[in-house]
Structure 1
Amino acid sequence: MKRLEGHVALVTGGSRGIGAAVAIRLAEEGADVALTYERNAERAGQVVKQVEALGRRALAIRADSADPAAVRAAVDETAATLGRLDILVNNAAVFPMGPLEELELGLLDRTLAVNVRAPLLAAQAAVRHMTEGGRIIGIGSNVAERVVFPGLALYAASKTAQVGMVKGLARELGPRGITVNLVHPGPTDTDANPAEGPFAETVNGFTALGRYAEPAEIAATVAYLAGPDGRYVTGAAISVDGGFAA
């Protein structure tokens, strides 16, 4: 059963990792999918082909999430090209790491621009196209719940800000029948954070399940929130972290 048949989704940062898995899972559920990418057109094109192979329409949009105009334009292009917009998944993010004393102002500004401002701007643009039943889903982080390594203060701050954003938007958009939620992935096996990486054994030790997630496991929760079974969930931050925050 295609639970998202006739729906259109936009996944920011959808060319790889969790974003790509989300794009593909939503297509499997029947949605047409647009995705944004910053640099790697080839990777974005591969995801487009995978979506199209599932019989769905797909669109790749080059957009730097630090650019407000590009964020808004990506939302509007999705609605114009695919005919509507029902689901927004704010996945694009940067991952700064380093000692507090070494955090440069430019890095701080870009992190907040991509991880905090862009999701809010995308939501602002998206609700102009959404009707009742719309879904806005953010991809947060386990470090919003538990910071176990030094050097993550800026990243944790940016992801924790999304918790308040989601709660505020859920209150504001609830009367319009639009739900807003956040998914906190734990350590997930991606190019940027491979399960066989040098820190994997240590990271695994912080989870209750003792392993990294597969991107598809995060995407499954996003699909639930995007689908009809998630219609009464809003303002929630759901941890899919293998017990990292337990």
Structure 2
Amino acid sequence: MSTSLAGRIALVTGGSRGIGAETARLLGAAGARVFVNYREKARRAQRVVDEIARAGGAASAVRADLTDRAEVAAMTGEIRDLCGRLDLLVLNASGGMERDVPPDYALRLNRDAQVSLVDAAMPLLPPSARIVFVTSHQAHFHGRRPTYDEYEPVAASKRAGEDALRDRIPDLAARGIGLVVVSGDMIEGTITPTLLERARPGIIDARRAEAGSLPTVSEFAAEIASAATAPLETGHTAYVGGEDYLVDRS
């Protein structure tokens, strides 16, 4: 990446591992001051912060359960107090396949919490700020392509979250704020394929054979980081992998 994010302030949700962590590292390397959001894994988030710092960047770990509005308000308040604004909001955190979560958890996190965080961050987002919503092809194409039964609650709720955010485009555009979606096929080595494989052994090999190859964490994170600054129209969707999904995007 270029250094076009120098001086910008970024928040990456779910930034303590996997795609979020790699995205945070790339944004830090590009010059952004990165806030790495986490829910429980403070040490893991701090490792990402330390890696960014060792590479010459600036970062802080910020805790918030995104389904808790008070915690989200505290997190955005901390960013306001430290930096006064937020130029880039990467909505990467998602879930719904975890054990022992309430039946409505996927919808609360993947739809309601995404909108609530945008609302909480709105006072910090200046004109030219950008929101990047991270999703999967199985969610983005939900209703048009079949998904795995085990992933259905996540796919449906993330599609609902994307739709809710797209409904906000006119208001965001009036404020000069852009919304970009980045959608990917199964990503090698991330938590969702791991959980799917646990529920249905062989599912990853089958999808890899069907698609030819699966994107890596690095490839997907690079597309997310690029979406932070690329000259894209608001509402644009960037696709990573899964060419079979893209044959008919109507």
TM-score with structure 1 setting the length: 0.87
Q: 2:169 touches 2:235 (CA, 8 Å); kept in 1? A: yes
Q: Which residue of 1 aligns with 2:109?
A: 114
Q: Which residue of 2 aligns with 1:201?
A: 205
Aligned counterparts of 2:203 and 2:33: Cα–Cα separation in 1: 37
The residue matched to 1:152 in structure 2 has which SS?
A: helix
Unpaired segments of 5 or more residues in structure 1? 99-103
Aligned counterparts of 1:31 and 1:190: Cα–Cα separation in 2: 26
Q: Which residue of 2 aligns with 1:212?
A: 214
Q: 1:26 touches 1:223 (CA, 8 Å); kept in 2? A: yes
Deviates more, 1:89-98 or 1:65-74: 89-98
Q: 1:137 touches 1:181 (CA, 8 Å); kept in 2? A: yes
Aligned counterparts of 1:76 and 1:218: Cα–Cα separation in 2: 30
Q: 1:65 touches 1:113 (CA, 8 Å); kept in 2? A: no
Amino acid at match of 1:121: S
Q: Which residue of 2 aligns with 1:245?
A: 245
Aligned counterparts of 1:124 and 1:9: Cα–Cα separation in 2: 16
1:49-128 paired onto structure 2 within 5 Å: 49-96=50-97, 107-128=102-123
* Per-residue Cα deviation, 1:8-45 (whole angstroms, up to 9, x for no partner): 10001100011001101111111010011112112111
Q: 1:79 touches 1:129 (CA, 8 Å); kept in 2? A: yes
Q: Which residue of 2 aligns with 1:25?
A: 26
- Residues 43/171 of structure 1: CA separation in 2 closer, same or farther (3 Å cut): same
Q: 1:7 touches 1:30 (CA, 8 Å); kept in 2? A: yes
Q: Any runs of at least 4 consecutive aligned residues in structure 1 with deviations exceeding 3 A, and if so which?
A: none
Q: Which residue of 1 aligns with 2:182?
A: 183
The residue matched to 2:125 in structure 1 has which SS?
A: coil
Q: 2:190 touches 2:217 (CA, 8 Å); kept in 1? A: no
Displacement, 1:153? Answer: 2.3
Aligned counterparts of 1:85 and 1:97: Cα–Cα separation in 2: 30
Q: Which residue of 1 aligns with 2:233?
A: 233
* Per-residue Cα deviation, 1:100-120 (whole angstroms, up to 9, x for no partner): xxxx9x633211111111111
Amino acid at match of 1:214: T
Q: Which residue of 1 aligns with 2:223?
A: 221
Displacement, 1:77? Answer: 1.4
Aligned counterparts of 1:148 and 1:109: Cα–Cα separation in 2: 19
Displacement, 1:76? Answer: 2.3
Displacement, 1:87? Answer: 0.5
Q: Which residue of 2 aligns with 1:42?
A: 43
Aligned counterparts of 2:111 and 2:46: Cα–Cα separation in 1: 27
Displacement, 1:191? Answer: 4.4
Amino acid at match of 2:243: G
Displacement, 1:148? Answer: 3.5
Q: Which residue of 2 aligns with 1:143?
A: 138
Aligned counterparts of 1:40 and 1:97: Cα–Cα separation in 2: 15
Q: 1:143 touches 1:159 (CA, 8 Å); kept in 2? A: no
Q: 1:10 touches 1:75 (CA, 8 Å); kept in 2? A: no
1:160-171 paired onto structure 2 within 5 Å: 160-171=159-170
Amino acid at match of 1:114: L
Pick from 116, 123, 130: which aligns with 2:125? 130
Aligned counterparts of 2:80 and 2:58: Cα–Cα separation in 1: 13
* Per-residue Cα deviation, 1:45-78 (whole angstroms, up to 9, x for no partner): 1100111123222111121122121123222212
Displacement, 1:129? Answer: 0.7
Two-structure CA RMSD over aligned residues (Å): 2.1
Displacement, 1:244? Answer: 4.7
